[in-house]
Amino acid sequence: MGQSVKELEQSPSSTSLTLLDRIRINDPEGWRRLVRLYCPLVYQWCRRRKLRDEDAADISQEVFRTVATRIGDFRRDRAGDSFRGWLWTITRNKIGDYLRKQERQGVAPGGSDAQQRLLELPEQLPEDADHSADSCSLVHRALKLIHPEFEERTWQMFWRVTVEGHAAKDIAAELGVTPDAVRMAKSRVLRRLRQELPDWGSEDASGLSSR
């Protein structure tokens, strides 16, 4: 007999708080997860602005110091507000500070084009091919983080129906569970993913395909 929905309703041993909730209460594990998820994103933003590896790493650290002191300021008061957009604003300001400092010292990378590079920093996070690639990488980092919280069969049901796009009835027949159990597995993992990614559902959900 197939596994029932009730048998799949046992939630993984993880907090029900969202990642941002955990950050706001200064939860150490929450901070580690935030940095693991978003530091590579900030670093890539810096590198795309032609900053050297070591400078991109330094600015990334500065960004997260600012996040630590200003996380209480983050709001979603307007349509389109997102955590990534807020993080980009902080990163943009830090890159601008760096370029202005280098220009004052006469060592700005690129020499006389430093001012032009300042002007080219977009106020809003660009919605382009790089943005889509960043979204994909972010989702996969989050999936890697939450994977250990689930039994392997639950994860396989989620992965095959959501990422690989197989029909729930086919997966159910192969694994000896009910189609409802497959759908419940998918729902549980996606619910956990929404807790881990502040913008899930409000920004492009690149990195997952479903049907």
Q: Which of 80, 82, 93, 100 is nearest to 121 (CA)?
A: 93
What is the token pair recorded at 109? 């990378």
Enclosing H/E stretch for 5: none
pLDDT band at 206 (very low <50, low <70, confident <90, very high): very low
Q: Which domains does the chain have, with CATH numbers?
A: 6-14+134-196 (1.10.10.10), 19-126 (1.10.1740.10)
- Contact predicate 19/194, CB 8 Å: no
What global pTM score does this model have?
A: 0.82
Q: What is the pLDDT of residue 108?
A: 52
The C-alpha atoms of residue 179 and residue 84 are separated, in whole angstroms, by 35
Query: From the centroid of its chain, how far is CA 147?
Result: 15
For the stretch 121-172, pLDDT in tens is 888 887 777 888 999 999 999 999 999 999 999 999 999 999 999 999 999 9
The C-alpha atoms of residue 27 and residue 186 are separated, in whole angstroms, by 28
For the stretch 83-127, pLDDT in tens is 999 999 999 999 999 988 877 776 655 555 666 777 778 888 877
Other CB atoms within 10 A of residue 53 CB: 10
